[in-house]
Structure 1
C-alpha cells in the first residue's frame, strides 16, 4: 500500500533524480521520490505510520515546506450479524439485528441491502425488519467498509433468531409431560404399597 503526493514540476528546468534525506531511520528503504513525477511515496505501511509528516522541498532558488497527513487503515474483516431480539405475533415477526467487525473499527460504516435486488434496507449497524410467513426466508446482507476496503456477510433473520413456538403447541406439550409425570408418580406409589403389604406376610409365614 502506498501513499503518494504529486508535486507540480511545470516550472522545473529539468527532471533530475531528486536527493532524498530521511531524518527518521525507521523509514530508511521505505521512502522514495520517483524522478518521473516527483511524488512522495512511502511503502510497506504500518499502523504506527499514521500521523503528520513534514517534507522540505529544495528547488533553486526557493525552499518549500509541506505538511502531509497520513492515515493508515486495516483491511475490513468479514462482519458478523447477530440477533439482538425477536418478537412474533400472528403472521408477523419483528427482528432486531446488529452487524459488527471484530477489529479495525476505525471509521467503519455499515449498510444493509437485500441480495435479490440490491435495494438498500438500512444505514448503520442496527437493522429492524418485519417479516411474514411468505418472506421469512429472505436474507439480508450487511456491508462494513472503511476508506480503503469493504467486506460483506449475508444471513437470514429467521435462521439467526429462533422464533418462539406457538401457544397451542406449547400447551399440548406441557400437558403431555405433566400426564407422564403423574403416571410415574402413581406407578411408584402403587409399587411401594405392594411391597409394604407383601413383606409383612412373608415375615408372618417365617414365624
Structure 2
C-alpha cells in the first residue's frame, strides 16, 4: 500500500453541503486486491476536531463517521449499511479510515470531511484509491521468421493475466540486436546463423507486485525457411499448457478442428457464443483437453513429455470461404533436479591447487544450459559449460556454484574449494586418512 499527492480537479459530484474549505491536492492511495488500505487523515494544525465523515461516489450516503470525545472518553464510530459494511474502521491517533478485504469495485474517489470544534469551517481531504491484484507468473510464446539476409528473427510475446490496472513489461537480457514493442510485451531478437542459443526472461510489474516468467530459450536456428513457423509454447511436465487461438474480429466461426498426429477435438459455437466440444479424442489426450472461454484456445492438462510436438488448429468461418490454419509447437520440459558436482584436484607449483569441476544431471532432458559462478580470470569452461577448470589459490573464492537451466526451471549446487585444496596440500599419508574419514563425502562431493 502506498500513496502520493496529485493536483486537485474538483467535481460537483463529491461536494458536501458543509464543505467551505478544500485541500489543494488529492492523495492517490494504492491497495492490493483482498488486502487492506488506509486513507491517511491530516488535521488542520492547531485546530480541535469534532467529527470526521467519509464519502465515496459509489455510495449515496457517508460510508462512515467518527465523533471525537472532548474529555478523553471513547469516540463514537458509525458506519452506514452500504457495501462497505463490516469492512471499514478507524485507526491511529489521527483517526484515519481503514478499508479491508478490498475488491476492484472499491477503486475510485473518496473524501473526508473534517469538522472543527467551535468553528463553522469544514476541511476536506480527497483521495483516489487504486486497487491492483497480485500478478501471476506470465507466460511467453515464441515464433520465428527467416529473413532474406540469413538472419532469423524471433518474436517473444509476454502475456500477463491481470484483471485491472496498468502492467509494465521488461525483458532480460537486452542487447543491441533486441527490439521491444507493444508497450514492452513483445521482444524481437535478430540472430545470424553462427550466433549461439540465448535465454530470455519477461518480468511484469504493477504498483503492488511483480512476477517473472520461466526462462525461455531462443534456439540458434530458425525452424523453417521463408515462412513464419508455428508459435512455440513451453509447458512443464504435470502442469497445463494453453495453445492461444485468435481469429479476425467480426468473423463468425463455423467450427474449429484441433489435431496433432491425428484428430484431437472439434469445436462449434454454442449458446451465447460459448464453444462446445462436439468431438473429442479417446486416445492419450482423453479427459485432458478443455476449451478456454471467451475464445477457442485449447488447454492440455497433466502434461506428458510425449505431448511435445506439432499442433494445428483449422478454423472454418461462416462469413468467408477461406479457412484459417494456425500451427503450434509444444515443448514439454521436466523441472530440473539439483545437479551433481564431480571434482578432482592435484598440487601445482608455487602453492597453486589445480581443480577440475564437472557438473552433471542424472536426467538432463533437452535444452539444458550450464553456467558457473564465479567464472574469474584463468578459469576455463568446456564441454558445453559442464566442466570448469581453475587454478585455485588461497586468495581465490571459497566456493564455486554450478547452475543448470532449462526453459521451465533452474537449480544450483555449490562446491567448497578451500577444504578440498587444503586436503591436497597435506602429506600423502595424512591425505589418505583425510579421505578415509569421509570429509569430502560429508560435503556432498564426489571425488575422482
Q: TM-score under structure 1 normalisation?
A: 0.67
Aligned 8 A contact 1:75 1:104 in 2? no
Aligned to 2:341: 81
Spell out, residue by residue over 1:148-206, the C-alpha distance to the aligned partner (whole angstroms, 9 max, x if none): 1110001112445675346xx559xxxxxxxxxxxxxxxxxxxxxxxxxxxxxxxxxxx
- 5+ residue gaps, structure 1: 172-207
Aligned to 2:241: 3
Aligned to 1:147: 407
Q: Secondary structure at the match of 1:27?
A: coil
Q: Secondary structure at the match of 1:72?
A: strand
Paired with 1:164 and 1:111, the residues of 2 have a C-alpha distance of: 26
Paired with 1:126 and 1:108, the residues of 2 have a C-alpha distance of: 14
Q: Does residue 1:16 correspond to 2:273, yes or no? A: yes
Structure 1 residues 159, 100: CA separation in 2 closer, same or farther (over 3 Å shift)? farther
Q: What is the count of residue pairs matched by the alignment?
A: 165
Match of 1:45 among 303, 325, 331: 303
Match of 2:367 among 65, 85, 107: 107
Q: Does residue 1:71 correspond to 2:331, yes or no? A: yes
- 5+ residue gaps, structure 2: 1-238, 254-271, 430-448
Paired with 2:380 and 2:250, the residues of 1 have a C-alpha distance of: 51
Aligned to 1:90: 350
Structure 1 residues 102, 170: CA separation in 2 closer, same or farther (over 3 Å shift)? closer
Structure 1 residues 122, 143: CA separation in 2 closer, same or farther (over 3 Å shift)? farther
Aligned 8 A contact 2:252 2:317 in 1? no
Q: Does residue 1:25 correspond to 2:283, yes or no? A: yes
Structure 1 residues 55, 122: CA separation in 2 closer, same or farther (over 3 Å shift)? farther
Match of 1:138 among 370, 395, 398: 398
Q: CA deviation at 1:19?
A: 2.9
Q: CA deviation at 1:122?
A: 6.7
Paired with 2:411 and 2:311, the residues of 1 have a C-alpha distance of: 30
More strand by percentage: 2
Q: Secondary structure at the match of 1:25?
A: coil
Q: TM-score under structure 2 normalisation?
A: 0.33
Match of 2:387 among 115, 126, 136: 126
Q: CA deviation at 1:86?
A: 3.1
Structure 1 residues 73, 170: CA separation in 2 closer, same or farther (over 3 Å shift)? closer
Aligned to 2:313: 55
Higher relative contact order at CA 8 Å, sep ≥6: structure 1 or structure 2?
A: 1
Spell out, residue by residue over 1:65-86, the C-alpha distance to the aligned partner (whole angstroms, 9 max, x if none): 3332111111111001111443
More helix by percentage: 1
Aligned 8 A contact 1:88 1:164 in 2? no
Aligned 8 A contact 1:16 1:35 in 2? no
Q: CA deviation at 1:101?
A: 0.7
